[in-house]
């Protein structure tokens, strides 16, 4: 912790990191009050995972992009020691409040800490970024009479649970907006909550496209000890069931059987890695599938790929596809969830059916064999990136905050 950058306070039963130089903003803009002084909107972003996955990365990108907009003061409330907390405390424009490790999804002390933070810091609005965060906001309202408006982020295309708790959470009067990261999720939520009074709308996740330029390219063949003649087919995502790595592995096996000199490389960690390793051994291609683990500079890895092969059977959006776009690698993907909102078949990538191994293998072969077609996909993907920037995500999110608070007057 840089002592010049943050003050560490022990208070409210949780640790608080406050940027020393924070204060009121001045200037012109939509949030500007009289004489150019902004009426600050104080927002608490609530996140509960200890791990680092897509949702946590998207929250960090939102925090970074929102710093470019005047009139917003941002707070983060998350478990102590979480991967998000480690990264947020290096952001000079964000107040980090970390609570001792969450005990469960139904954590009353965590909710009490959230309520106390809202009261002491005079917060205007809560933005909850995962299911347990949503539960904490619900408990704060139910047990501690917290009346702040809540914006819910929905990132998964799983059906909305039909349990009593889920129904209460989503229909509580504090919930004013549900932001879905894809149209596919928006449709699922609207169907599940036909009587919801909250606005339900799509705000696509995005990436920092200011980094989009000449990508550093790792020498993965040398780094991973792979034969230099092998074509690299890469996937990067959590090693969990909905990512459908068995289809990825079987596609590599089929390509190998067809005489293709390919190497599958998997970046990521998860609970099913041993199961997936066993499958590659059973198919006789253990040497053709490399489990490379988590890499913080995954875009550099993607830039070395010949094809990015994304085989999810359920996917909220899948922003790793955007990283592949930015890395200049052609994409072959399934048409699960929100993926088709990024991958336009034949224009920004190739779309195939979920679990369709032969179809995926044919698409990979076409990209490998037709350089002109591959180049066409890469060019189209780069143009598509402008609609999926983290700056655009922040702009749309802030518009929702302002609208919700205006309605709350």
Whole-number pLDDT of residue 121: 96
Average pLDDT estimate for 157-180: 93
pLDDT at residue 118 greater than cutoff 90: yes
Whole-number pLDDT of residue 1: 36
393 in the same domain as 382:
no
Percentage of the chain surpassing pLDDT 70? 89
pLDDT class of 17 with cuts at 50, 70, 90: very low
pLDDT class of 409 with cuts at 50, 70, 90: low
pLDDT at residue 227 greater than cutoff 70: yes
Average pLDDT estimate for 19-41: 41
Q: Who's near 99: CB < 8 A, 6+ residues apart?
A: 13, 14, 77, 78, 79, 80, 109, 110, 113, 114
Q: Who's near 21: CB < 8 A, 6+ residues apart?
A: 92
pTM recorded for the entire structure: 0.88
pLDDT at residue 302 greater than cutoff 50: yes
Domain membership of residue 353 (yes or no) is yes
pLDDT class of 39 with cuts at 50, 70, 90: confident
228 in the same domain as 202:
no
Of 28-37, 163-172, 284-293, 371-380, least confident by mean pLDDT is 28-37
Three-class secondary structure assignment of 142-168: HHHCCCCCEEEEECCCCCCCCCHHHHH
User: Where are any strands of DSSP class E within 81-237?
Assistant: 94-99, 125-128, 150-154, 175-180, 199-202, 231-236
141 in the same domain as 39:
yes
Domain membership of residue 280 (yes or no) is yes
229 in the same domain as 99:
no
Domain membership of residue 127 (yes or no) is yes
178 in the same domain as 300:
no
242: domain CATH number is 3.40.50.2000
pLDDT at residue 11 greater than cutoff 80: no
Alpha helices (H) along 267-409? 273-282, 298-302, 320-327, 357-369, 371-384, 390-407
Backbone φ, ψ for residue 244 (5° rounding): 50, 55
pLDDT at residue 4 greater than cutoff 90: no
pLDDT class of 388 with cuts at 50, 70, 90: very high
Domain coverage including residue 32: 6-206+389-407
158 in the same domain as 304:
no
157 in the same domain as 82:
yes
Domain membership of residue 1 (yes or no) is no
Number of domains making up the chain: 2
pLDDT at residue 348 greater than cutoff 90: yes
DSSP secondary structure, 242-282, as one string: GG-HHHHHHHHHHHHHTT--EEEEEE---TTHHHHHHHHHH
Domain membership of residue 315 (yes or no) is yes
Indicate the DSSP class of residue 349: B
């Amino acid at each position: 912790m840089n002592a010049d950058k943050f003050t560490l306070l022990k208070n409210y039963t949780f640790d608080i990191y406050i940027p020393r130089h924070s204060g009121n903003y001045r200037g012109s803009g939509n949030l500007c009050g009289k004489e150019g002084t902004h009426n600050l909107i104080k927002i608490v972003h609530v996140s509960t995972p200890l791990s680092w996955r897509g949702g946590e990365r998207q929250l960090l990108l939102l925090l970074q992009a929102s710093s470019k907009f005047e009139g917003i003061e941002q707070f983060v409330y998350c478990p102590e020691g979480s991967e998000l907390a480690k990264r947020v405390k290096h952001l000079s424009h964000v107040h980090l409040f970390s609570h001792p490790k969450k005990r469960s999804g139904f954590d009353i002390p965590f909710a009490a800490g959230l309520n106390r933070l809202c009261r002491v810091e005079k917060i205007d609005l809560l933005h909850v970024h995962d299911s347990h965060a949503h539960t904490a906001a619900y408990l704060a309202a139910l047990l501690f009479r917290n009346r702040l408006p809540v914006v819910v982020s929905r990132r998964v295309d799983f059906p909305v649970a039909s349990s009593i708790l889920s129904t209460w959470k989503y229909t509580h009067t504090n919930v004013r907006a549900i932001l879905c990261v894809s149209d596919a999720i928006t449709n699922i939520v609207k169907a599940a909550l036909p009587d919801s009074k909250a606005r339900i709308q799509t705000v696509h996740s995005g990436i920092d496209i200011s980094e989009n330029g000449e990508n550093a390219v790792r020498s993965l063949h040398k780094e991973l000890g792979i034969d230099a003649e092998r074509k690299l087919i890469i996937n990067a995502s959590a090693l969990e069931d909905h990512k459908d790595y068995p289809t990825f592995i079987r596609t590599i096996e089929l390509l190998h059987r067809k005489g293709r000199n390919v190497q599958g490389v998997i970046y990521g960690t998860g609970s099913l890695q041993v199961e997936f390793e066993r499958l590659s051994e059973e198919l006789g291609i253990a040497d053709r599938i490399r489990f490379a683990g988590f890499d913080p500079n995954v875009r550099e890895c993607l830039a070395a790929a010949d094809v990015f092969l994304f085989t999810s059977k359920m996917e909220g959006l899948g922003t790793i596809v955007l990283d592949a776009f930015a890395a200049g690698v052609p994409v072959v993907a399934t048409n699960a969830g929100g993926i088709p909102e990024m991958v336009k078949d034949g224009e920004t990538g190739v779309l195939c059916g979920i679990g369709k191994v032969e179809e995926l293998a044919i698409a990979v072969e076409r990209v490998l064999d037709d350089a002109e077609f591959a180049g066409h996909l890469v060019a189209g993907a780069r143009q598509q990136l402008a609609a999926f920037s983290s700056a655009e995500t922040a702009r749309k999110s802030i518009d929702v905050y302002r609208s919700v608070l205006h309605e709350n007057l």
